[in-house]
Structure 1
């Protein structure tokens, strides 16, 4: 087992200021790895005017590379065009391991390809589930097989996700680890005084897109409102399906029962959750679903469709499952509404008990430690010869295998040309961020301004944006 600090580069199209589970995972995992003594930099595409190099809280360095966005915050595939800038970053930051996140991320696939051409160790984390029958799934599965043919290790966020990834990419299961997502439990404390006792409030926090089951939500809400006069809905999130909810609300005249908040900032998520009694998730596919963990930490009973890795996330007394069908969602909501009225009689259903149990189950420090174990497992592996890399790519299919070998060969040759034009010795090494000095200054400022006991307790957790 090695114990030397590592230089790690996290790469994904999905990072702040965009919001989502992948973005949260990247940020919090990186902060904890920094606290464990490693150097972490993140590479993502530019967001509007945010481009160039930025430092976030805790000394986390982020490269925002200009790129053309094509769909759902993913950048336009350029294959070899990003090699020069990725090579500059990897050499400047003296990277040991390149860690790509999310199968939908173009930057992730390109960074792993270029890193392998440079002989760097690579890790891939899959955050999604994909099918095997639709055209987009088939194409993305082939791309994933190409990328994962030459990575040292893969990580999935649930056992269901692992099975899906192993089948999609034809991987050896021993090369895939399961490391779940987590939350900072201190940021999701229950607040019973925030809810309105006159109502039973159902909260929905989600991107309003087809994959999140918004059509199921639209069908179930008017039926629940008709059956239960004391029920109201609070919906946070935005997306193309929002218009469907607005039209349904107008058609059934439920303006006083359905509150639409629009996009909710991460800092405001808890204040929305603590207003509710029940959290509803109607996703059609989900590898983990960090939203239900946040809701349970705030003390809400959870109702969710039983899809993907969701059954692995919470114990049975915290969640009620439903098939992804309208009637089943309504039945499960009615069951949860009945449990809300019985909560005072059952201490194991109290918000405080929910919070204490979730805090024990999920921790970013644990995620970082397990990720670190993967890094140390691969960092000492011997680099295979180039012909072995071609053999792995060739096994990806009769036609695709030859194409993948061609792509890998061209990328390797581009790397040789770049090494001739810009030798490593001529690339200036970036100065290391002085994490010890940074934390000393932060601690001194807290003492100078008189931090409370609560803030001192939170200082052991990863520093967060805003």
Structure 2
């Protein structure tokens, strides 16, 4: 049970749910997902090529002035229709509003806590919802309460990192949850270190890549500011930014103001195959998070391709790259510190060659879906039978 699922929406949570479901199907289990429609032409029920059965329900348009009030009601209605009376062995939640109706029943469930949604709801939406300031503040407080209830009613909570576990503890009463850590999963059989891959567009070396949603918390603007300083030391360096979001226009203006538009390629959303090519070809990938990095999927994907990653010391970033060493972690989120780290690493080709050989071993097989799915199956087996 989740908010949306890939490929209907291409985000980290949406990919995680779909890929976990597919991994469980490959192990011989029947998996059904419940999520909202993201487009009117999507079927209410279908089975994907990966064997995952998808159920979708309709929610009000985000342009509706009453969206904030109507959305949870539409979710609750869908849950009552399709979940509460259905026949299944395990109920697995990934989004708090989807799970709220279940907390009024005696149905046991497992809940994966990806990140505190109540902290993301304003920064991620950036004007998508028509709600004045006081209403937006009330929405955040309500989401925090919903998330607390869902966490405290779960039989077991899974967190993707120690950072997410600390966020869970901050929003629950001491001792109110039973939890365990299962790292975020990725397709390590797809993200492999094949060298000399063709880039989608030609660029000069050294090549820096970041794959980020263009919202404030992901730190792309910090990286762009740092890039202006990096170019003073490495004038041929190129930065490729993949991803889209509401901060695209401000970033384009920032590039123009800094005079570095020719060295920074803002590509928007790219295909999976192009993203793979960029990861493989990059000399360095950067995850410049400003706040709330629950796991760091793009960091792990790049490392799975054998490419070292520079991160800011935020959220779970340092956990994922710990094996690369301290030189790959910026001192802070300040652009000057990000630039200093990039210049240090780019100026040491031998270090880059060494870490390229080590990066994949730090995430494979530990973060591979086969390993992660087995960990979930062990947890499922310990859940009480449905009451």
With the length of structure 2 as denominator, give the TM-score of the two structures. 0.84
Query: Which 10-residue stretch deviates more, 201-210 or 151-160?
Result: 151-160
Question: Which of 311, 320, 323 pairs up with 1:304?
Answer: 311
Compare CA radii of gyration and give the structure with the larger one.
Answer: 1
Would you say the 8 A contact 1:70–1:76 is kept in 2? no
| 1:198 Cα deviation after fit | 5.0
Alignment of 1:141-156 (within 5 A): 141-156=144-159
Alignment of 1:239-254 (within 5 A): 239-254=245-260
The aligned residue for residue 455 of structure 1 is none
Would you say the 8 A contact 1:97–1:379 is kept in 2? no
Q: Deviations over 1:331-388 (max 9, x none)?
A: 111112123x2248x6x4234x43344323311122112212222222337x5xxxxx
Aligned partner of residue 169 in structure 1, secondary structure? coil
Matched, 1:166 2:200: no
- CA change 1:50–1:94 in 2 (3 A) is same
| 1:229 Cα deviation after fit | 1.0
Aligned partner of residue 39 in structure 1, secondary structure? coil
Q: 1:302, 1:17 → 2: CA distance?
A: 29
Q: 1:188, 1:81 → 2: CA distance?
A: 37
Q: 1:338, 1:169 → 2: CA distance?
A: 45
Aligned partner of residue 20 in structure 2, secondary structure? helix
Q: 2:373, 2:9 → 1: CA distance?
A: 22
- CA change 1:197–1:213 in 2 (3 A) is closer
Q: Deviations over 1:204-256 (max 9, x none)?
A: 11011101012312321212122211211111111121122212322343333
Would you say the 8 A contact 2:152–2:177 is kept in 1? no
| 1:257 Cα deviation after fit | 1.2
Would you say the 8 A contact 1:11–1:98 is kept in 2? no
Q: Deviations over 1:102-147 (max 9, x none)?
A: 34xx3x2xxx233344532222211114669x95664432221222
Question: Which of 25, 28, 42 pairs up with 1:50?
Answer: 42
The aligned residue for residue 327 of structure 1 is 336
- CA change 1:76–1:30 in 2 (3 A) is farther
The aligned residue for residue 200 of structure 1 is 206
Q: 1:227, 1:362 → 2: CA distance?
A: 36
Q: 2:300, 2:360 → 1: CA distance?
A: 10
Matched, 1:191 2:194: yes
Question: Which of 154, 157, 160 pairs up with 1:157?
Answer: 160
The aligned residue for residue 373 of structure 2 is 368
- CA change 1:207–1:97 in 2 (3 A) is same
Q: 1:173, 1:334 → 2: CA distance?
A: 46
Would you say the 8 A contact 2:109–2:154 is kept in 1? yes
Q: 1:253, 1:81 → 2: CA distance?
A: 48
Would you say the 8 A contact 1:13–1:75 is kept in 2? no
Q: 1:363, 1:174 → 2: CA distance?
A: 27
Alignment of 1:38-437 (within 5 A): 38-48=29-39, 49-70=41-62, 77-90=70-83, 93-103=86-96, 106=97, 108=98, 112-129=99-116, 135=137, 138-170=141-173, 172=175, 175-194=178-197, 198-285=204-291, 286-317=293-324, 320-322=328-330, 323-339=332-348, 341-343=349-351, 348-351=354-357, 353-380=358-385, 383=387
Query: Which 10-residue stretch deviates more, 33-42 or 114-123?
Result: 114-123
5+ residue gaps, structure 1: 1-9, 384-466
5+ residue gaps, structure 2: 123-136
| 1:81 Cα deviation after fit | 4.8
The aligned residue for residue 423 of structure 1 is none
Q: 1:315, 1:81 → 2: CA distance?
A: 43
Q: Deviations over 1:174-220 (max 9, x none)?
A: 60111111211121122332377951000011011101012312321
Q: 1:329, 1:239 → 2: CA distance?
A: 22
Q: 2:367, 2:48 → 1: CA distance?
A: 24
